[in-house]
């Protein structure tokens, strides 16, 4: 009985590794997925803002912002800056790219935790039959350093995804601001053109009666023609801004056709709390911005890579259990071994890893310096824009009083029609000047929002971007936002 086991031992010695390798070779094989340009283009062209899945995503995200019992809307929500930003987070392809990078980093943690596979060497018959199984035992924390490096890269990828979300929000805000400016200019130019057209008509009548000169009428007509040209430019700007907004969201331009836009984020923004120069917003930008956190994670990954290379100065332990059969004799042996660090002590790779770690430290400091400069410049522009807006408000108030006085004088017979119309025109121009100052303040506020990565035009914050709301190209089932 014992002899039978002795005869079977060599077969088991070699059969076990072969069986394990054969059993694991086809595990977790990803399915092939062809990519069709026509199919993907059709999916992109079919995107629209009344997509029920999009509306459910927006409703779930808004519940996380301000929890309140409410059912998913049956109709499109009012498309404010916050709602359009959520639509962009749902559709924009840049976030799919960033999520893919995160998935790649998460998969690398599995690779980092893997242990080296054993190897098998055979001695063929006829004179000698045998073999050796080499089992590598990593020493001095090499595997732990690899795992720490992979985990840090996952953290960096998460913050890169958050940074991509802020860039998407900035694109939506910029395009929406341009659309607001264009549509307001349309309205203001229409309001200015109405009294200007009446003034041209009144002056034409006065010229016919000999009470006004032809050059004055010509100048008025040129002004009216200039207003018409400006209105046409504003119409073109509105069309371009709407197309740019669609691109910022990630939908075709026709998806915004007939869609009502809510501009309250620009018309009535919340006040900015705290001191921009030295307050909590500035400190948060220097420590908590997504790119700052990503840079810290990249530095941690480089530090872990350096630890791995330092550990590689010391050899791994190789255990080599073996079997030999020669002239009817079964021989088993366990031969430990290791590399001899004689010709090099891994100094080259240690130097490279140290240089990469130092480069990450330099990038981090450069990023913080860039943030400081960005916050300072954006803060200065915001303060200047706020002061200009205040001055324009004083001018508008003065023109309102003057126009009201001329209107009263006209009703009392103390002023003629051209004087009243001139007052109305000057008031319309003052309103346009004030709006230009207001738009400049909103633009500066948006730049400050980018520098701080804090919402300053509304109170909405980004949801968890790692949860993919749709997976048309990833081939996975979209994850639902936690209720």
Q: What is the pLDDT of residue 15?
A: 54
Within a domain: residue 3? no
User: Of 79, 70, 35, which Cα lies nearest the Cα of 262?
Assistant: 79
Per-residue pLDDT at 277 exceeds 70: no
Per-residue pLDDT at 212 exceeds 80: no
Per-residue pLDDT at 64 exceeds 80: no
Within a domain: residue 361? yes
Binned at pLDDT 50, 70 and 90, residue 474 comes out as very low
Binned at pLDDT 50, 70 and 90, residue 479 comes out as very low
Within a domain: residue 106? yes
Q: What is the pLDDT of residue 69?
A: 53
Question: Which has the higher per-residue pLDDT, 46 or 4?
Answer: 46
Question: Which has the higher per-residue pLDDT, 432 or 124?
Answer: 432
Per-residue pLDDT at 245 exceeds 70: yes
Number of domains in the chain: 1
Q: What is the pLDDT of residue 75?
A: 57
Within a domain: residue 477? no
Here the CATH number for the domain that contains residue 298 is 1.20.1600.10
Within a domain: residue 62? no
Within a domain: residue 16? no
Q: What pLDDT digit, counting tens, does each position of 213-222 carry?
A: 888 888 889 9
Per-residue pLDDT at 225 exceeds 70: yes
Please give the average per-residue pLDDT across 118-137, as a whole number: 75
Question: Which has the higher per-residue pLDDT, 211 or 192?
Answer: 192
Binned at pLDDT 50, 70 and 90, residue 104 comes out as very high
Averaged pLDDT score across all residues of the chain: 85
Domain containing residue 386: 77-452
Q: What pLDDT digit, counting tens, does each position of 331-366 carry?
A: 677 777 777 777 788 899 999 999 999 999 999 999
Within a domain: residue 395? yes
Within a domain: residue 65? no
Q: What is the pLDDT of residue 323?
A: 66
Per-residue pLDDT at 82 exceeds 60: yes
Which range (21-25, 133-137, 209-213) has the least confidence? Answer: 21-25
């Amino acid at each position: 009985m014992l002899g039978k086991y002795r005869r079977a031992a060599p077969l088991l010695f070699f059969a076990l590794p072969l069986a394990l390798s054969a059993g694991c070779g086809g595990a977790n094989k990803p399915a092939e997925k062809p990519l069709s340009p026509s199919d993907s283009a059709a999916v992109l062209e079919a995107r629209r803002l009344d997509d029920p899945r999009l509306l459910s995503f927006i409703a779930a995200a808004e519940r996380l912002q301000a929890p309140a019992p409410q059912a998913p809307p049956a109709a499109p929500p009012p498309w404010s800056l916050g709602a359009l930003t959520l639509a962009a987070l749902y559709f924009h392809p840049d976030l799919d790219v960033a999520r893919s990078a995160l998935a790649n980093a998460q998969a690398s943690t599995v690779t980092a935790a893997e242990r080296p596979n054993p190897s098998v060497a055979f001695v063929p018959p006829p004179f000698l039959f045998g073999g050796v199984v080499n089992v590598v035992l990593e020493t001095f924390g090499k595997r732990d350093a690899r795992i720490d490096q992979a985990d840090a890269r996952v953290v960096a990828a998460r913050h890169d995804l958050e940074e991509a979300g802020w860039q998407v929000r900035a694109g939506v805000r910029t395009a929406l601001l341009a659309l607001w400016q264009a549509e307001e200019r349309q309205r203001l130019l229409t309001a200015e053109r109405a009294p200007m057209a009446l003034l041209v008509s009144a002056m034409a009548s006065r010229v016919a009666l000999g009470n006004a000169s032809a050059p004055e009428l010509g100048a008025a007509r040129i002004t009216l023609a200039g207003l018409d040209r400006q209105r046409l430019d504003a119409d073109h700007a509105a069309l371009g801004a709407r197309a740019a907004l669609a691109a910022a969201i990630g939908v075709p331009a026709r998806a915004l056709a007939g869609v009502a836009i809510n501009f309250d984020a620009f018309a009535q923004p919340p006040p900015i709390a705290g001191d921009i120069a030295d307050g909590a917003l500035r400190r948060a930008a220097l420590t908590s911005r997504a790119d700052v956190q990503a840079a810290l994670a990249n530095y941690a990954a480089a530090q872990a890579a350096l630890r791995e290379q330092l550990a590689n100065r010391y050899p791994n332990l190789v255990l080599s259990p073996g079997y030999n059969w020669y002239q009817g004799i079964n021989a088993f042996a366990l031969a430990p071994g290791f590399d001899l660090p004689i010709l090099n002590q891994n100094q080259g790779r240690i130097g490279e890893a140290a240089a990469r770690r130092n480069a990450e430290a330099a990038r981090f400091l450069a990023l913080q310096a860039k943030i400081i400069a960005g916050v300072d410049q954006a803060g200065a522009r915001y303060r200047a824009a706020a002061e200009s807006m205040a001055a324009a408000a004083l001018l508008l108030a003065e023109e309102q009083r003057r126009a009201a006085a001329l209107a009263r004088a006209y009703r009392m017979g103390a002023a003629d029609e051209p004087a009243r119309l001139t007052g109305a025109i000057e008031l319309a121009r003052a309103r346009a000047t004030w709006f230009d100052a207001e738009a400049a303040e909103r633009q500066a506020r948006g730049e400050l929002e980018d520098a701080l990565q804090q919402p300053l035009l509304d109170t909405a914050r980004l949801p968890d971007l790692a949860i993919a709301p749709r997976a048309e190209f990833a081939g996975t089932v979209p994850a639902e936002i936690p209720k």
